[in-house]
Amino acid sequence: MSAVELAGLRKSYADVTVLDDFSLRANQGELVTLLGPSGCGKTTTLRCIAGLERAERGEIRIGERLVACPERRVFLPPNRRDIGMVFQSYALWPHMTVFGNVAYPLRVRRRDRRERQRAVMEILAMVGMDSYAHRPVTELSGGQQQRVALARAMVARPAVLLFDEPLSNLDAKLRRSMRREIRDAHDRSGGTSIYVTHDQEEAITLSDRVVVIRGGKIQQVGTPKEIYTKPATRFVADFIGFENLLTATVSEARDGSTAVKLMSGAGPVWTSKGITRAPGTEVVLAARADELEIGSPGSPGEAPAAAIPGVIRSRTYAGGRVEYLVEAAGAQVVVRAPEAGAAGSMLEAGSDAWVRFPVDAAVLVDDDNAERAPQAAEQTVESVPLQEAT
Amino acid sequence: MSTATTDLRTPVGRPGVARRQRRLSPGLILLCLLSLGLFVWPVVMLAYGAFRTAPPGFGHASWSTSGFTAALSSSAVWHAFANSLILSGSTVLISTALAVYLAWTVTRTATPLRRIVTPMAVLIFAIPPLFFALSWAMLGEQPVGLVDKALHAMFGVTPLNIQSWFGMIGVSVLGATAAEYLLLLGPFLALDPSFEEASLVCGASRLRSFFLIELPALAPSVLGVMILGFVLGMGLLTVPLLLGEPAGIYVLPTAIYRDYQAVTPPDYAGASTLALLLVAMVLILVALQTRLLGRRSFTTVTGKSSRRERLDIGRWKWLGTAVIVIYGLLALVLPLGQFVLGSLESYFGVYSHLSLNNYSTVLHAPGTSSAFETTLLVAVVAGFSAAALGVWVALTAQRSTSRLRRLPDLSIWVLWAVPGITLSLGLIWAYLSVPGLRSLYATQWIVLLALIVGTTPIASRAVTGPIGQISRELEEAARTAGASGFRATTGILLRLILPSFVVAWFITGIVASGNLDIPILLASPNNQTVPLLAYNQFNDGSLSQAAATFCLLIGIVAAVLVLAAVMRFVLRLRAAGRSPALPALRLPVGLPGRSR
């Protein structure tokens, strides 16, 4: 009914192209996350869907309706798109109470007073804010404001819900519980939701599908599991939290499995995950620190075959696990092992060790020459009231 | 600049800092005494003067309520009071509507010519109010003023008598609109654009969003500006003096002036009583405003770039253009044209034989050069001192932890209650009562001192906001980086304050140099300022010379404005090309966690 479809979207500011030939479809009832570092175009995409920005080219459809198409001079203003949106700053109107804010969408849709009252109290009860209905919004905490913003976006049962980094101003604990509430709200609404975030954990836990964006282009679209376990490119692997990205060369390929040798000649490492390339091709071996094994050469039990020798450069206690930085195969490899690992006890910094890539622990991805993506958990700078000193 | 929109919150001191500054520093004591003496004393003396039989400092005075009661039982006084309310009220209503419309047009629509509104408003604000009163008095002068002549030629009648209610309100609106527009521009620009966006995605149209969301969210600012405009309107002397008095319309400021200056013997107690009436009115207004709004201000700045689309209002935009053009014509082009033309006429109203004779007459007159010197002194020294006082007071209120830290700031607030000529009267009483200062009476120093006092509230408003936004952490960072307290203050804090200080100096300098209310009571004929000189020339019937004098002043002000604009441009270029130091300061707001 109300799928959201973008086709060939292009948007630029001055001489910077923010979106280029951007196409995407979010099916009816789906929660799709746009994930990427800041400046990648995800918020612009969302604002184009909302009608708060005009794209220069391309089509946007909400359900059967064409809402924007510059080529055909179609542009439906935001108020006629039947959407609800939660803003990063919440954008609650300070001169209204909680009730006034939430009732507003119904008011402008000219619903009668009784129905307004009923619908607002119902949605406020759903987000647990019904006892605050007549408070001014300026007296609420961040989490409460967030709930009111959510209620306001949903109260008129819009076809599409848009979320612009709604949790980035909350602390980590609150963020996790609000994440669940947003997912519940989406499921109850039955509509389509598009959610913008730069937090990979948020995207993975919340969405039906994740769209990873970089520089205005889609890098990968997939279910959270696909994105988490099978990143398509080095950039996605990095952004989604693969600690180890090692340049390697395909040495052998058979039965869907591929063996690679690392730059130092160490290996082979076998995996059936990710891309398949002909022998001799340069690829990137992506592995999560948790899935690698580590041991010391002198410990009981032989070093397993295909283990890569190295030296432990540093050791960090990481709560139940120990994180080792190992210099192996001409690269820095991060390994997180249980406290009592294969070695039986913690390994010392400076000592020799071996690192093993179990079969299918690593994923082969294309090297897209990504410079390291910015840390996903970037600091969100909250607005400081700073006025122009003129 | 108003009580509603200005947040006076004081950062809470950290324990360490608190311990260090808990004791009263000599600087704070000095500042408290200074502000009590400069700002509170005149107001106290105003009340005192209402109950004395002679001005303070002159012998044979005794306590008496006769002057007070006589004034309050006079129907003329209440008439003047009612007139003040009518003039100020209607001016504020019309000018606020116009200012809101202009601010909305400039910030939200794609109206042609919108870009000239702000420069125009700055120019109108920089030109002394006396200018508008004088030039419109000339424009409407029957039967020779430009407008009068034009109307006569077109309609064969002269329906416009500028010396009337119509003229007074109209001319007051012209000046007030510019000031209110400038005050509203900030809140209009600062209003979080996501408020409007949220309303749009909720299904409201742009126009509806403006009336349901933006305007109510701006209500505290608009109401604050209205109250301020009303207070300033109540104290406005020049327009009623030139356009009302000849028609027999008295308002409180002109009645005060008449009691003090124009009747013999001067009715000191009566003038003071009238002034108290005005003060009471202002206090009621401020109380009303506080009651209505508290200290709330809805305007929130998010620092997000507002890449909002301008509202396409179709053919209605030409209405905006028409309003801008008409406003520019009435407030700038016609008055300036009349002045330039008038200054070239050998006799005012005779349009032949234009020459520069008036200028040479004015320039060779003995009073002129001293008037320009005094005005320059006043602009530079009063502006600087007021700005410095403002910075000192704001820093004390925000950085000190003593219980007295708010006292200087509150003293300055008291001054808002004594608009225009009321303050002059209070200052006279205050300075006459102090033996040392009495000898300064009728010198330019007393004019200077009075203008410092009179313009400090403006300077204080101009610097308080920016100083409040300089995070204490910037100094703390300097301290932790190894700088001494003195070095952190001078190298970081004062350096960051410098731009706002210069702006405040500039504004107060211009306001001080154009002020008539204070010199008209305090200056003597041999140390008058340019506005007073022009006013006296006008009163003597030398309209053309008054025009020439004023043209000279406006020329200088315009030159200074242009110079400032050029300097600002050059500084920006240098800052852009050279160090990222200043832009870096703004990074915390320039880098929202938003992607494009």
Could you please report the per-residue DSSP string of A200-250?
HHHHHHH-SEEEEEETTEEEEEE-HHHHHH--SBHHHHHHTT--EEEEEEE
Q: Is B194 on the interface with A (CB under 8 A)?
A: yes
What is the number of structural domains in chain A? 2
> pLDDT, tens digit, for every residue of B253-289?
888 888 877 666 777 778 888 888 888 888 888 787 7
CATH no. for residue A333?
2.40.50.140
Q: Is A378 on the interface with B (CB under 8 A)?
A: yes
Q: Looking at A140-149, B18-27, B155-164, which range is the least confident one?
A: B18-27
Structure tokens at A200: 């990979």
**Domain assignment present for A38:** yes
Q: What are the residue ranges spanned by the domains of chain B?
A: 30-41+360-596, 67-302+315-355
> pLDDT, tens digit, for every residue of B206-262?
888 888 888 888 888 888 888 888 888 888 888 898 888 888 888 888 888 888 776
Residue A304 confidence (pLDDT): 62
For B92-96, the CB contacts below 8 A with 24+ separation are B92/B176, B92/B226, B92/B229, B92/B230, B92/B233, B94/B169, B94/B173, B95/B172, B95/B173, B95/B176, B95/B177, B95/B180, B95/B229, B96/B180, B96/B222, B96/B225, B96/B226, B96/B229
The C-alpha angle B342, B343, B349, rounded to 5 degrees, equals: 30
Q: Measured between beta carbons, which residues in chain B are less than 8 angstroms from residue A46?
A: none
Residue B62 predicted with pLDDT over 50 = yes
Contact call for B203 and A80, based on CB within 8 A: yes
Helices and strands (DSSP H and E) totals, chain B: 32, 0
The residue in chain A having the minimum alpha-carbon distance to the alpha carbon of residue B583 is A388
Residue B95 confidence (pLDDT): 95
Residues 46-65 of B with CB under 8 A from A: none
Determine the 3-state secondary structure of B384 from DSSP. helix
Same domain, A164 and A32: yes
Mean pLDDT of B564-579: 70
> pLDDT, tens digit, for every residue of B80-90?
889 999 999 99
Low-confidence spans in chain A with pLDDT less than 70: 1, 298-306, 340-345, 369-390
Residue A383 confidence (pLDDT): 34
Contact call for A384 and B588, based on CB within 8 A: yes
**Domain assignment present for A275:** yes
CA dihedral sign, ordered B26, B32, B293, B93: negative
Residue B595 predicted with pLDDT over 60 = no
Q: Is A278 on the interface with B (CB under 8 A)?
A: no
**Domain assignment present for A386:** no
Contact call for A386 and B500, based on CB within 8 A: no
Give B301's pLDDT tier (boundaries 50, 70, 90). Answer: very low
Could you identify the residue written with the tokens 């701006």? B218
Same domain, A152 and A80: yes
Residue B167 confidence (pLDDT): 86
Residue B143 confidence (pLDDT): 62
Contact call for B596 and A39, based on CB within 8 A: yes
Contact call for A380 and B593, based on CB within 8 A: yes
> pLDDT, tens digit, for every residue of A117-172?
999 999 999 888 999 999 888 888 888 998 999 999 999 899 999 999 988 888 88
Question: How far is residue B455 CA from its own chain's centroid?
Answer: 8
From A307, A294, A245, select the one nearest A274 (Cα to Cα): A245
CA separation for the pair B8, B464 (Å, rounded)? 8
Predicted model pTM: 0.73
CATH no. for residue A172?
3.40.50.300
Contact call for B307 and A43, based on CB within 8 A: no
Structure tokens at B528: 């008058």
Same domain, A171 and A220: yes
**Domain assignment present for A195:** yes
Mean pLDDT of B68-78: 79
Q: Looking at A131-145, B128-142, B384-398, which range is the least confident one?
A: B128-142
Provide the phi-psi class of B34: left if phi over 0, else alpha when psi is between -120 and 50, else beta: alpha
Same domain, A60 and A203: yes
> Which among B202, B301, B302 is the nearest to A152, CB-wise?
B202
Residue B205 confidence (pLDDT): 85
Same domain, A164 and A272: no
Q: How far is A17 from chain B (nearest CA, A)?
A: 10
Give B7's pLDDT tier (boundaries 50, 70, 90). Answer: very low
From B329, B322, B320, select the one nearest B104 (Cα to Cα): B320
Q: How far is B460 from chain A (nearest CA, A)?
A: 14
The residue in chain A having the minimum alpha-carbon distance to the alpha carbon of residue B213 is A93
CA separation for the pair A273, A20 (Å, rounded)? 30
Most confident of A45-59, B19-33, B64-78: A45-59
Structure tokens at B571: 């500084």
Q: How far is A68 from chain B (nearest CA, A)?
A: 15
Q: How far is A156 from chain B (nearest CA, A)?
A: 8
Q: Do domains B30-41+360-596 and B67-302+315-355 have the same CATH topology?
A: yes
Same domain, A220 and A295: no
The pLDDT > 90 percentage for chain B reads 8
Q: Looking at A331-345, B95-109, B112-126, B545-559, which range is the least confident one?
A: A331-345
Domain-ending residue, one of A197, A229, A261: A229
Residue B487 predicted with pLDDT over 60 = yes
Same domain, A254 and A149: no
Same domain, A294 and A336: yes
Q: State the amino acid at position A386 in one-letter form.
A: L
Residue B92 confidence (pLDDT): 94
Write down the H helix ranges in B469-542.
Answer: 472-480, 485-487, 495-514, 517-522, 530-539
Same domain, A77 and A103: yes
Same domain, A166 and A225: yes
> pLDDT, tens digit, for every residue of B337-347?
888 888 887 77
Q: Measured between beta carbons, which residues in chain A are less than 8 angstroms from residue B311?
A: none
CA separation for the pair B56, B74 (Å, rounded)? 24
- Per the structure, the complete domain to which residue A345 belongs is given by 245-365
Q: How far is B298 from chain A (nearest CA, A)?
A: 6
Taking all residues of chain B, what is their mean pLDDT, rounded to a whole number?
78
**Domain assignment present for A371:** no
CA separation for the pair B343, A279 (Å, rounded)? 93
Crossing angle between the packed helical segments B215-234 and B165-190, to the nearest 10 degrees: 140
Structure tokens at B67: 């002057």
Structure tokens at B171: 């001319």
Contact call for A95 and B201, based on CB within 8 A: no
> Topology of domain B67-302+315-355, per CATH?
MetI-like fold (1.10.3720)
Structure tokens at B40: 């509170």
Residue B589 confidence (pLDDT): 25
Beta bridge partners of A12: A17
Please classify residue B80 by burial: count the beta carbons closer than 10 Å to its beta carbon, then call 0-12 exposed, 13-18 middle and 19+ buried. buried
Could you identify the residue written with the tokens 């006589």? B70
Residue A298 confidence (pLDDT): 66
Same domain, A88 and A144: yes
Say which CATH architecture domain B30-41+360-596 belongs to.
Answer: Orthogonal Bundle (1.10)
H or E element: which one contains A361?
none
CA separation for the pair A189, A182 (Å, rounded)? 10
Same domain, A309 and A254: yes
Contact call for A94 and B298, based on CB within 8 A: yes
